[in-house]
Amino acid sequence: YVDSYNNLGVCFFELEDFLSAFSSFKKAYRLNKNHLYTLNNLGNSLSVINQNKLALFYYKRALEIRPNYAELLTNISISYMKMNDEKNANKFYIKSININPNDHELKYAYSVFQLSLGNFNLGWKYYDSRFYKRKNYNSIKNFDFVKDFLTDTKNINYNKKTLILREQGLGDEIVFSSLYPDIIKKFSNVVIESDERLVNIFKYSFNKNLFYPAGFFSLYKDELSNFDQVFYIGSIAKFFRKNED
């Protein structure tokens, strides 16, 4: 029963057991070599382990069956991005995004791809799509609670009372902390929430008493409403990292 093998493969895929997922999808493929979802699933299981040329073989077989399948066009575009094939990545990105303009998985992948190529303006343009990626949605701290207080970065004002929030893991926060000297210099009234393990390190390193433990302000609506602007740190990187230098 083809659907059962596909569903089993999807379960393995969600558990990140990609070899077992591939094995289940191959069993489905042996039963029906022209099954749209089987072909797409085989491509996904290969793409995630960076076997992108082989993934594209299955994706393109599926494309012959349904040329305007948005998820499939997205997967093809992402595979080309992983192969650094800018021409084809752009081609399939445009096709997919025209069908589904709210494909946040694709927009985020495209953002990272363009940043990796050094196209910073285009890369940062779509970077906020990370908030809505399925895997990121729950890992970005307090996002559901904070999202109604977030400020559109098109309207940034360096003189307003500003709160900057950490996001994701400790490693990400340390990487983004390279922005803090620029932020301290540029913003006249700013506080930054950090992982509690980093607060004292940041205070010492940047010689400023403007770091607070995560949630100090962002867990309380009354506190959030006291700020004129609220940003996650990644969302303002575009103002300070405009080129590779």
Q: What is the pLDDT of residues 175-190, one digit of tens each?
A: 999 999 999 999 999 9
| pLDDT, tens digit, 9 for 90 and up, residues 187-215 | 999 999 999 999 999 999 999 999 999 99
Beta bridge partners, 191, equal 163
Question: How far is residue 213's CA from residue 202's CA, in Å, rounded to a whole number?
Answer: 11
Whole-number pLDDT of residue 207: 92
Contact 51, 40 (CB under 8 A): no
| pLDDT, tens digit, 9 for 90 and up, residues 220-230 | 999 999 999 99
Contact 38, 18 (CB under 8 A): no
Above 70 in pLDDT, residue 137? no
Q: What tokens appear for 86 in the block?
A: 């800018």
Task: Fill in the amino acid letter for 130.
Answer: R
| pLDDT, tens digit, 9 for 90 and up, residues 25-43 | 999 999 999 999 999 999 9
Whole-number pLDDT of residue 135: 62
Q: Which long-range contacts (CB under 8 A, 24 or more apart) does 108-115 make?
A: 108/133, 108/136, 109/77, 109/78, 109/81, 110/77, 110/81, 113/81, 113/89
Question: How far is residue 191's CA from residue 208's CA, in Å, rounded to a whole number?
Answer: 10
Q: What's the mean per-residue pLDDT of the chain?
A: 93
Whole-number pLDDT of residue 138: 53
The one-character DSSP state at 235 is G
Whole-number pLDDT of residue 198: 95
Identify the residue whose tokens are 């399939």: 92
Identify the residue whose tokens are 């779509």: 126
Contact 154, 232 (CB under 8 A): no
pTM of the predicted model as reported, rounded to 2 decimal places: 0.81
